Amino acid sequence: MNKKIIFPILGVALLSGSLLGYQPPVQADAPNTVNINVSQDVKLDQKLMQQAQDKLKELTGNTYTLIEGTAMKGFMSFKRENFKDDIITYKENGKLDNIGIKINYEDLNGGKYQTKLKETWEALFPGETPKYVSISESIYYEGTISSNAMQNKQIYMQENGNVYGVNYAPDDAPASVQNKAAQVFSKLTDGKVKQGAKLDRIYVSDGKPNVYQYKYKSKTMDVIFAIEEQTLELFQADVYHSDGKSVDSYEEFQKRENEKSAKIKKLTLDTLMKSAMRDAKNMLDLDLEGYKGARGTNAWDEDYMTFTKEGAPSVTARFNKDGSFSSFIIDKYNQSIDFYGMTIQGPPNEEVKLLID
């Protein structure tokens, strides 16, 4: 299998998704008000649409016809004509919110990433070329994820200048790793797994000991964990439970998030440290004694903590609104293992392909 090579590429990062909400129709009080608002909206739409077209030209080298996308309160949304899954949103003040598009590599006509993608694939996976590309730019992230025609290799470009490749392992992992994975899987799911369920596996290479990441997904549970081949050390353990309820509107989503945020803010650092020590031991057999914990300070990472200890790798963790922890990642070898590993890039108008059903 191909080893992952890391080298600097500036200004590139992982994709970031964005929730598209719903905006109810505006009720006007008088005909004059309606006429004024429509006139202003048309001018605004044209200006923002031109900005979006210019941005797409910068990213892909192509000029696209844009149509109106999903309505969002306080935002304008567009899509490329004939591309159903685009996310192109601008704030009403003209600032970019989020662009997320998929394109065939062969359809790039220059643009920001074409040369970098070609060079990266030649370096990481000699003899392979990119086929499917996702490009994202937002207020938080910018960059690409790309895969080959077989969709068994994928490359990520990161904001910090690092680039890494993921090889979806076609063969069985060593028996020792497989046995360890079975034990971990049973523990993280409390043995409650549907009959015939199987783990899917990717091989993540970093020029260090091999790391195998396993994933399981059902209607009510997502489980991800990673094992180092040589030591059988568990690097990652994520367990997410779902109630299966969908969010039908932006207002409902915002209400949920506000309620969650309010509960998170009430959790004390002492409470979180006690929960983290208990849950890290149960999930990873990791002893956090002597680690210092720090909470996230931004709205987007308020449910995250980082644990540090001199002479030891740092640990990144995510907690629930009740203070329990659902995720731990040991940041060893600068190994990047995250949610994005659960999907692989395919044709622009193809539904996202999960590695497991």
Over residues 74-85, the pLDDT tens digits come to 888 999 999 988
Cα(62)–Cα(32) distance, rounded to whole angstroms? 40
Residue 15 confidence (pLDDT) above 70: no
Architecture (CATH level 2) of domain 31-167: 3-Layer(aba) Sandwich (3.40)
Confidence of residue 192 (pLDDT cuts 50, 70, 90): confident
Residue 318 confidence (pLDDT) above 80: yes
Q: Can you count the helices (H) and strands (E) in the chain?
A: 5, 18
Confidence of residue 229 (pLDDT cuts 50, 70, 90): confident
Confidence of residue 55 (pLDDT cuts 50, 70, 90): very high
Residue 330 confidence (pLDDT) above 60: yes
pLDDT value for 205: 55
Q: What is the residue-averaged pLDDT of the chain?
A: 76
Confidence of residue 30 (pLDDT cuts 50, 70, 90): very low
Mean pLDDT calculated for residue range 253-280: 91
Mean pLDDT calculated for residue range 59-67: 93
- Show me where the domains of the chain are located: 31-167, 175-340
**Residue 295 per-residue DSSP state:** E
pLDDT value for 333: 64
Between residues 208 and 284, the one the model is more confident about? 284
Secondary structure (3-state) at 242: coil
